[in-house]
Amino acid sequence: MPQGALSGNLRRYTVNNRLYRWHIAQFLEQLATLVAQTQPKTLLDVGCGEGFVAAFLKQRLPEVEITGIDASVSALAYAQAHFGQYATFRRGDIYSLPFPDRAFDTVVCSEVLEHLEDPESAIAELKRVARRYVVLTVPLEPYFRWLNRLGQWLRVSEDPGHVQFWTHAAFKRLVQQHFNEAKLYRKHIYQLACGYVDAAT
């Protein structure tokens, strides 16, 4: 995760603005609905940050065993302190995940790929450790940038430090390059994808 991601991500989930919190809650509900459709028993949250997504998914899907992984020591310390009852958290690199092949039924990578210089290699690694499905979310461009600038002006968001910018068409191409079977969704200024991992690939 990029430097500065801790404070930005933490603020995102704790900002005291009712409209913004509603917006985030709507996105998380859509993500949880999509993950539930994959019917996982085990789930890996890659780039889990401070653990907000992992905790939300556990509350919606209490039977699922969730593991969160992130490169940031400080983010993981927060996750363990606040959400350790919901998931197991450990440190790791998205480009070299410390798990065997096909270790998790479903792998979630939410709002991470846009921070990476090499998202293609990251997706290949997500597929390696997934037994059945990979669920991805990224901002919907150019709308995210427009609303983020407004959020910065209102002081409810910060410069997210993105290095990748996907329109719906570009994200669709990215997903279809990596998955033979995939469904794409939109929620506000976010886009989500669920790709089936073929064991033969």
The mean pLDDT values, 10 residues at a time, for the chain of 201 residues are 52 79 91 98 97 97 98 95 98 98 98 94 98 96 64 58 84 95 93 89 56
**What pLDDT shows up at residue 2?**
40
Kind of pairing, strands 190-196 and 130-139?
antiparallel
Per-domain residue ranges of the chain:
5-196
Name the burial class of residue 42, with classes exposed (0-12), middle (13-18) and buried (19+) by CB atoms within 10 angstroms of its CB: middle
Question: Which pLDDT value is given to residue 196?
Answer: 97
Distance from C-alpha of 174 to C-alpha of 178, rounded to nearest angstrom? 7
Rounded CA separation 175/19 (Å)? 30
> What per-residue confidence (pLDDT) applies to 31?
98
Collect all residues with Cβ–Cβ distance below 8 Å to 106 and sequence separation of at least 6: 35, 38, 40, 42, 43, 44, 130, 131, 132, 133, 134, 135
Q: Which of 105, 101, 111, 4 is nearest to 56 (CA)?
A: 111
Q: Tell me, what's the pLDDT at 4?
A: 36
pLDDT at 3: 36
What's residue 136's pLDDT?
98
Q: Which residues contact 197 (CB under 8 A, 6 or more apart)?
A: 127, 130, 131, 132, 133, 134, 179
CATH number attached to the domain at 5-196:
3.40.50.150
For position 178, what pLDDT does the model report? 96
